[in-house]
Structure 1
């Protein structure tokens, strides 16, 4: 601790009430003397006027030293508990943000056109507005029809939730229906799994039945408010059910008001802009729930831990006589240590939690390599799942799949890991397809043996025609035919030659990669060829659009629930 770090004028106590404990010193001193006086058996058997002549007085000086050290140790301990502080440190400012689960009705009634162009289109647009305008807090998206399924788990990255909006349609749901009660129960379960004691659930639907009202009441008893946003009109409109029959969809505002009242929430009808969302109060999360960091501030740092080393040194005198020799190594080690004394007493779980916080911060600022490295220090399923996400963001798809496999090995049936693994595999398939397409195009643009002219210019011209977004055709034509001056013409020619050279180099690299791939296929064994063809066939079966991914994810989840007897009754 440097002298510059100590400000005598700023010295104060964070917990001065501990100084009242010093008043106990006289009482403790009297008790100690009385106990010491009663400790000698001679006091009960020998007359008091004979004791000074019979008892040795050699221990009085030692007793005085012991009592003095005890008093000093007590005073130092009380002062440390009082929390001396003389400098401020930066620390995050915390403010509360309630989590929100959005439950969207994806029954066949969502295709009704009583609010043009359709209820589903209006609901998508409203959710996009909510994600864009909401002032912080974690958000999750749930879709429900005959049962409820997680589209996106609780996250602060609303952009990831918005990615699935265009894929939401009734045909991704395994079973048709309007089980709003299942949606409320599932949303409350998501909040509970994330260890939120409070949170909000908003239902985007047109009606609610009695089981849904009971589910809203259950959620309210758990601390989760239930809101309702009415989608549709009282006049209603016809729609086609999944079995081909027709029905009439109408907005039942009364049932939704009753639902919101049972769930300790509010009801609002769909409106233009964000007035309906502001009426519900979900754009500005309430301030008494889960805490997240918002900026930085300063706070006085408790420096009482600096009094612990001298207190420990004083405690050494309470043991054997030669224990004071331990002062020597402590004096050598302590001044040279640069670590904070508070860090020396952190448990292993606290150290791991701090490392996970650092990984999360690295992920949010886009340093995915550092995030993957920090997540790799932990060994639980959530850490492997987060490491897979970081690796996927960094473009390391095989390593991301391996991380998801490790998470599933520790926690089988982890829905988010299964869904993200499928998405990464689909991305790998698209990447391989794009590479194969580039290889085939590069092969077609190879000059023929009997071709005329400069092959580099022929191939460069063909490559330049494929890269139209790099420069507008009108601008290129103007620079080629009607230059403003000679210098502009020279610049255009130089840029053209540079692009042609880059195109030729790219073509040569693609040709080398294609030749290496073909050579590897020619040298592979029959077993390797069969395995490669099987992998390619399997990759072609993997859906590569969000709608197909959601449909497959919900189907697998439905089969699991039916197997475990958790399906809708």
Structure 2
């Protein structure tokens, strides 16, 4: 698109006042020239024509004129002349969204068959699939609120946690929607967003929740409500085993949405997304007023840079005689290469972010040595943690332990680094000698029983998706095997059997993924042929596979433990991460 032409004007017109200084400067220079200088004060007048160079006055006048012209060019360039406009795109459609899901025991009520929880999971999955743009985060709450997934552009990463969400993962029962809104606000603020949206999935809202929604709206975060349940309600069993009854209070949720500047809709018990479209969360930014009532804008272009080349040419004549020609020859002699001024003007945090992004790409394509080298150039706790993961993937266990130690020096309470360090230490422990020639009796074989834990497992705690955020890590980067190796699965309550089929499918997918990750994973990026495998390497591989099969058969165990630790820290007066 051609820029729009318009009348000449200046973006910074106050610089034009500097032109007024040209007159007194010219008067001072002329007065100094008339004074005759040093030679006229000490040499007789009849000798001056023989001592002074002829034509000096003409050259001096020419130099003065060039200096005045250069002054005018410099002032005009600083004033920012502009005579054309360009379209200035405004960023919209990228409003971030934090989904807050009610995981109280009331979510097991069956007024939305098969349960409210099953319908809520399906609705969130539909939202993640259909949402047009913008980052998405996930918060679960009951008697307190906890982060399941921080804000991310990868909606698929958030969807991985849906099957593990159940009331049993929450450390305390209740329906504190006000804390869920506060936690969602905290995520948006930590991610640097001044505006955003919060979607609450629950069956009612009390006065505290309405106050939290009004506070969020004043801070720039709109609160939407999606009602779970039916007006007639249904019975459910609390965590302590007692029976209770719950119903959908649509009036309180409408009041919550009104206080939060959002909308309310009741969840539709079908596979459609009409309820989500009614809320307006599928097309982020749609319908939101832009400053000045416009959705786009035009800006004047600063054309002052066109005056810089002639100004630089004039500056060449300020050098001593012959300097201008030498400078021109030097410019012609220098090799012409693409300018890389962006690298010179990057702030340290921008350079660190770019280095982390490049390291993450190297990690994903299996170039662990390159990833470790790039992470080593960033001195944050997350960088050292990711460097440890890369070194562990490459089989350099001592260096990985040193990297985890560096991360723990900067963030002593980083649970991921502690869990991965334990996994690497377990992998480095010596194995007992085999009990027989039969592979089924070797440690780590399928028939070895407890001997599987004696093998040296390759640490799967080093995740395939290294963290790129400096302030907060995703739960996807946590070490499931290393966090609680050998822990028995917690018993599943009777009222959660409706989700048994979904949980079983999730466990099967996790087992297949873990087995693929542990079977012959190359440490240095090149897979060795099967015929080159030594007996020791084969024994180690079998031990790794058996260790992976010992992963607890509980997909919600990681979240349960994470929420419990965070809840205990809050009760003891700890600060939020």
Indicate the TM-score class for this superposition, using the shorter chain for normalisation.
0.5 to 0.7
Any unmatched runs of 5+ in structure 1? 1-9, 44-51, 291-298, 433-438, 447-504, 522-535
Structure 2 counterpart SS, 1:186: helix
Contact 1:198 1:289 in 2 (8 A): no
User: Of 214, 223, 231, which aligns to 1:226?
Assistant: 223
Q: How does 1:153-552 map to 2 (within 5 A)?
A: 153-271=150-268, 272=270, 273-286=272-285, 311-312=311-312, 314-315=314-315, 327=327, 330-331=330-331, 335-340=334-339, 342-343=341-342, 345-349=344-348, 352=351, 355-356=354-355, 359=358, 362=361, 367=365, 369=367, 374-384=374-384, 406-414=406-414, 417=416, 421=420, 440=439, 506=530, 509=533, 511-514=535-538, 543=552, 545-552=554-561
Structure 2 counterpart SS, 1:17: strand
User: Of 550, 561, 572, which aligns to 1:563?
Assistant: 572
Distance between the aligned counterparts of 2:257 and 2:213, measured in 1?
7
Deviates more, 1:114-123 or 1:16-25: 16-25
1:389–1:97: structure 2 CA closer, same or farther, 3 Å change rule? farther
Distance between the aligned counterparts of 1:308 and 1:423, measured in 2?
61
Any unmatched runs of 5+ in structure 2? 37-44, 291-298, 432-437, 446-528
- Name the structure 2 match of 1:36: 29
Distance between the aligned counterparts of 1:542 and 1:313, measured in 2?
72
How far is 1:177 from its partner? 0.8
Distance between the aligned counterparts of 1:509 and 1:108, measured in 2?
52
Distance between the aligned counterparts of 1:422 and 1:375, measured in 2?
17
Distance between the aligned counterparts of 2:425 and 2:163, measured in 1?
18
Residue 99, structure 1, aligned to residue 107, structure 2:
no
How far is 1:275 from its partner? 0.5
User: Of 113, 134, 137, which aligns to 1:137?
Assistant: 134
State the Cα deviation string for residues 29-61 of structure 1 (Å, max 9, x = none): 533333335568969xxxxxxxx9999998633
Backbone CA RMSD of aligned residues: 5.3
Contact 2:385 2:417 in 1 (8 A): no
- Name the structure 2 match of 1:151: 148
Contact 2:9 2:81 in 1 (8 A): no
Distance between the aligned counterparts of 2:147 and 2:19, measured in 1?
66
Contact 1:355 1:374 in 2 (8 A): no
Contact 1:239 1:246 in 2 (8 A): yes
Distance between the aligned counterparts of 2:224 and 2:401, measured in 1?
38
Structure 2 counterpart SS, 1:379: coil
Distance between the aligned counterparts of 1:136 and 1:55, measured in 2?
81
How far is 1:407 from its partner? 4.0
1:185–1:375: structure 2 CA closer, same or farther, 3 Å change rule? same
How far is 1:245 from its partner? 1.4
1:221–1:380: structure 2 CA closer, same or farther, 3 Å change rule? same
How far is 1:274 from its partner? 0.5
Contact 1:98 1:289 in 2 (8 A): no
1:509–1:426: structure 2 CA closer, same or farther, 3 Å change rule? same
Contact 2:173 2:239 in 1 (8 A): yes
1:200–1:346: structure 2 CA closer, same or farther, 3 Å change rule? same
1:357–1:557: structure 2 CA closer, same or farther, 3 Å change rule? closer
How far is 1:302 from its partner? 8.6
Deviates more, 1:153-162 or 1:345-354: 345-354
1:136–1:248: structure 2 CA closer, same or farther, 3 Å change rule? same
Distance between the aligned counterparts of 1:14 and 1:422, measured in 2?
64
- Name the structure 2 match of 1:17: 9
Distance between the aligned counterparts of 2:280 and 2:541, measured in 1?
59
Structure 1 counterpart SS, 2:114: coil
Contact 1:305 1:341 in 2 (8 A): no
1:354–1:235: structure 2 CA closer, same or farther, 3 Å change rule? closer
1:344–1:188: structure 2 CA closer, same or farther, 3 Å change rule? closer
State the Cα deviation string for residues 446-475 of structure 1 (Å, max 9, x = none): 9xxxxxxxxxxxxxxxxxxxxxxxxxxxxx
1:516–1:177: structure 2 CA closer, same or farther, 3 Å change rule? closer
Contact 1:80 1:308 in 2 (8 A): yes
Distance between the aligned counterparts of 2:249 and 2:3, measured in 1?
66
Distance between the aligned counterparts of 1:397 and 1:154, measured in 2?
32
How far is 1:14 from its partner? 11
1:371–1:230: structure 2 CA closer, same or farther, 3 Å change rule? farther
Contact 1:442 1:510 in 2 (8 A): no
Contact 2:104 2:174 in 1 (8 A): yes
Distance between the aligned counterparts of 1:391 and 1:385, measured in 2?
10
Structure 1 counterpart SS, 2:217: helix
1:24–1:115: structure 2 CA closer, same or farther, 3 Å change rule? closer
Structure 1 counterpart SS, 2:9: helix
Structure 2 counterpart SS, 1:185: helix
Residue 554, structure 1, aligned to residue 563, structure 2:
yes
- Name the structure 2 match of 1:477: none
Distance between the aligned counterparts of 1:188 and 1:254, measured in 2?
24
1:514–1:361: structure 2 CA closer, same or farther, 3 Å change rule? closer
1:162–1:282: structure 2 CA closer, same or farther, 3 Å change rule? same
1:24–1:13: structure 2 CA closer, same or farther, 3 Å change rule? farther
How far is 1:331 from its partner? 2.8
How far is 1:508 from its partner? 8.1
Deviates more, 1:21-30 or 1:186-195: 21-30
- Whose Rg is larger? 1
